[in-house]
Amino acid sequence: MDIKPAPATATATAGMIPQPAERNSPEDRWGRRAWELLEKIRRRTPLVQCITNFVSMDLMANVLLASGASPAMLHSLQEISDFTPGVDALCINIGTLSEDWLPSMRAAAAAAAEAGRPWVLDPVAVSASDYRMEACIGLLELRPAAIRGNASEILGLVSSSRFGKNKVNWTGKTDGEGGNESYEKRKWTGF
């Protein structure tokens, strides 16, 4: 089979430069949308409270600053009632979970939920201990807007018998509200 090289012409070179019709790919639309959202964050400079572990505290603060947000690494229980209702968002990371910080996490999540502010739960190593799992199940009852976790953390939460049988399930209902049947159906069927 003879393969002939393409002629070196201006049109061959131009073919390598994206043309307007090609700039409407899903990737390009996603990129434009991501940039629009980043610009929106930078214009608004939201105040984001983070209750996180010492390992990631600096990293989270710097990422939020780079994106245009204003981070607040505040975790003192005595400050939650004054501060948290005024934030734009809350992030709770249980990486170095301790009985000293758990009440702050619960109070902040409750305050954010009551104020209508979105909050994110990061259930770091949720399956590592019963204490960690119970802490996350309690936080899930406060209805985070999102759960940020890796596959094993999400699967750990979902597969916990406590998650489906005693607490909140996929539907957001507890056992007494008929939610358990829905959980069992989704557990086995995916619907």
Domain annotation for the chain: domains and CATH numbers: 46-159 (3.40.1190.20)
Q: Is the pTM of this model over 0.75?
A: no
Res 57 pLDDT > 60: yes
Q: Cβ neighbours of residue 33 under 8 Å, at least 6 residues apart?
A: none
pLDDT in tens, 81-140: 999 999 999 999 999 899 999 999 999 999 999 999 999 999 999 999 999 999 999 999
Mean pLDDT of the chain: 82
**Do residues 175 and 162 lie in contact, with contact meaning Cβ atoms separated by under 8 Å?**
no
- Residue 128 C-beta-side C-alpha neighbours within 13 Å: 10
pLDDT for the residue numbered 24: 79
Distance between CA 71 and CA 91 in Å, rounded? 10
Residue 145 CA to its chain's centroid (Å): 8
Range of weakest confidence among 75-79, 143-147, 168-172: 168-172
Q: What is the pLDDT of residue 139?
A: 96
